[in-house]
Amino acid sequence: MTDDSERDLGEQPLAGIMAAAGLKAHDLVAASTEQITHKMVSRACKGRRLTPHVQAKIRNALAKAAGREYALAELFTY
């Protein structure tokens, strides 16, 4: 059994960037050309540990929705 504190890393910078840009999870899902879900975006914002592949999908969707490129280090603290 894994410790919950190890998996839950707190709100990520992604959540603040989305709020500042006026974006919701649905905006990222709609803008994505890859298969992402609202649950993936929610987990990314809340700080649940994601695989590098899912992190990249979230970053790509954000870039398309916001019209700006982001580095993974700007979006996630882990």
User: Taking 70 as the threshold, does the pLDDT of residue 52 lie above it?
Assistant: yes
User: Taking 60 as the threshold, does the pLDDT of residue 70 lie above it?
Assistant: yes
21 inside domain: yes
Instruction: Tell me the C-alpha distance between 12 and 5, whole Å.
Output: 15
User: Taking 60 as the threshold, does the pLDDT of residue 74 lie above it?
Assistant: yes
Confidence of residue 7 (pLDDT cuts 50, 70, 90): confident
17 inside domain: yes
Q: Which range marks the domain in which residue 40 is found?
A: 8-75
Helix (H, G, I), strand (E, B) or coil at 58: helix
31 inside domain: yes
User: 0.75 cut: is pTM over it?
Assistant: yes
Number of structural domains in the chain: 1
CA-to-CA dists, residue 6 to 28, 46, 49, angstroms = 26, 13, 9
- Name 1's Cβ contacts closer than 8 Å, sequence gap at least 6: none
